[in-house]
Amino acid sequence: MELRDYLFILKNSLLRLSPLYLKRNPVMLLSEISFFIVLIYMIVARAFSGFYAWIAVLIFLTVWFGTLADSYAEHQAKITASSLIRITSTINVRKILPDSSEVYVPPDVVSVGDIILVRVGEIIPLDGVIVEGTAAIDESLVTGESLPVIKSINDEVISGSKVVSDYLKIRVTKTLKESYVYRIAGMIERTKRPKGESERQLDSLLYGLTFLLSLVIVSLGLTLYLLGYPLNVPVLMGFYVCLLPTTIGALEEAIGISGLVRLWKIKVISKSGKAIEAAGDTDVVLLDKTGTITLGRREPIRIIPLNSHTEEEVAKALFLASLQDDTQEGKAILRYLEGKGYVAENIDQAVLSFYEEFSAKTRKSGILYRPLRLPGRDLFKEIRLIRKADFYGVYLNEKVPIFKGAPDVMRTLFYAPPDFEEKVNEIARNGGTPLAVAVGDEIIGLLELRDIIKEGVKEEIKRLQSMGIEIYMITGDHPLTAQKIAAEVGIKNVIPQAKPEDKYKKVIEEQQQGKTIAMVGDGTNDAPALARANVGLAMYSGTEVAKEAANMIDLESDPSKIIEVIKLGKQLLITRGSIATFSIANDISKYFVVLPALISFLVAARYLNILHLPLDVAVLAALIYNAFIIPMLLPLAVKGISLKPKSPRRIFLENVLVYGLGGVILPFIAIKLIGVLLILLR
């Protein structure tokens, strides 16, 4: 951060000392009221002693450190958004004029359709399409992708990317304020942070403790007054502030905001601050196999002909069925077939009619093919099995259905030869995915596809399971394939041959048992389940409907990011719980440090004063510790407590031991050392 950032934080923290702002945090508001009571007492009673002045200063510092923590955490969030905007808004754009000359202009005056030039080492200022040049582009600034990607003519580029080789001429498709960087920054700035359930429960606990402590102070003051002892208001207020849970009261907001910032750093936008807390409470995770557990790039490895058909017949049918398939899998099939030499040339698009795109519901795709009976144009004379049957309302002597799809779907629409099930099961047992190929009304062969398990995903799944999270793998694959992949990564619960509506049903089923559910999706069909799940993570590359339904969006469109989101959510809850435990334990210790000194006129109290500090020293030492423990714990609140793969029970016991017992012991040691130092400085 720059000097102006620190000055802004300082200014903002002072403005937040207003009671109108502090009313949202009763603990800090009561601390500030205590400060004013001490000031008023000093003025009315004309008691302008240095001791009372120090009490007032230390109470003020306690409140100010709280607003400083808020301001620091909130400014960190604003820096995240503004740093994105600064990536492109401060760049001079090299615009190409109609006469091919170049002129430098600010990015906000560039219009859609303008041509700009970006050279090696420069940031792409606006979204657009390449019209000239080929270059390696580093998109890590905005997408997190570490390796540069090669892009050329007609490829889209996004603002904030960096050209690391050659040059590009780009036709602008979006103005500055419509660009990718501005849209992401806007999503961050619009993020709201309503308090989650556990935070509200913590607030209820703190308010209850504050009320009880207020009664204790009032009762103690009245008792001293009735017994005829002089009522020392500044000391009583100092004692009161020491007892209030000011540590967690001051850091609670910073913990919540910092959780959102940590989420943004892994390129995930939360539309509500409640979502990350829900992630920390997750009991069940629904994981898609493809793209989450595996790389999501299924590659063909083997063609299996059926019922006396040849590999060439199956391959050429696959070629026609995949020719108009723009999916990643369709392109992979074409690459595979081209590598094996099964490519038809001079195909007239007129012979391809009624292309059916793949959908998660139908789980098949293909065409109706009309062979041309012209010399040299009988492209697939090897396919000799066309029969007269009605399919999609047309006669097959005119249009031939050539389809590929999931075996369980295809066998309900086409005739399956006797060896079909055996071969399907063989592929599935090997961990592959079978794809059935049909021509006319018969399945003529299978294509074996194989996906690769992501590096490290097995370890991540094991960590989640060690935290008591139940994991379901959902996939459209054959049950045997699904079970083999699940076994490799250590998942016991599998839902094979699943449709999008199966996710929704599973979410409801688990929620009815009182569980918190997290899931990932990117399609319109996933929207109901994303909206219903407690944590719905949508892919930025997915449909608008899915992104609207979800409460989190992953800018990198990496489904496995849900694992990191859950870990961050748990880290947030553990951090808040640990600091709350430490704060309350501190208050207990400070009670037994200051109260014996306060009532030292009683013989019994002298035995309880184990630190043997005079009243004034005990009060000042406790207030110094109470104030300065807030900025000391701020880095922990912002960074979060390190999360290790352990069961919830073990995490709870360790927190009680470290932050509970440690919170009881530390104040005695620290206050004693501060007290000795104060005595030496007298």
Catalytic residues: 288
Tokens at 646, concatenated: 């352990």
Q: 69 and 254 in contact (C-beta within 8 Å)?
A: yes
Please name which of 59, 26, 9 lies closest in space to residue 619, comparing C-alpha atoms: 59
Tokens at 452, concatenated: 């690769």
Q: 170 and 118 in contact (C-beta within 8 Å)?
A: yes
Residue 33 is inside which H or E element, if any? helix 26-44
Rounded Cα gap, residues 475 and 90, in angstroms: 46
Rounded Cα gap, residues 630 and 637, in angstroms: 10
Tell me how crowded residue 145 is: count the other CB atoms within 10 A of its CB: 16
Residue type, 457: V
Rounded Cα gap, residues 664 and 673, in angstroms: 16
- CA angle centred on 631, ends 628 and 632, rounded to 5°: 80
Q: 473 and 338 in contact (C-beta within 8 Å)?
A: no
- The conformation of residue 659, written as its DSSP 8-state character, comes to I
User: What proportions of the chain, in percent to the nearest 5, are helix, strand and coil?
Assistant: 55, 15, 30
Rounded Cα gap, residues 596 and 186, in angstroms: 55
Q: 379 and 371 in contact (C-beta within 8 Å)?
A: yes
Tokens at 168, concatenated: 């590009």
Residue 403 is inside which H or E element, if any? strand 400-405
Q: 552 and 631 in contact (C-beta within 8 Å)?
A: no
Could you give the C-alpha distances from 133 to 126, 153, 167, 280, 497, in angstroms and in order?
A: 17, 6, 6, 47, 44
Beta-strand ranges (E) seen in 63-210 are 93-96, 102-105, 115-119, 128-132, 135-138, 149-151, 156-157, 162-163, 167-172
**Three-state secondary structure call for residue 135:** strand
Tell me how crowded residue 605 is: count the other CB atoms within 10 A of its CB: 14
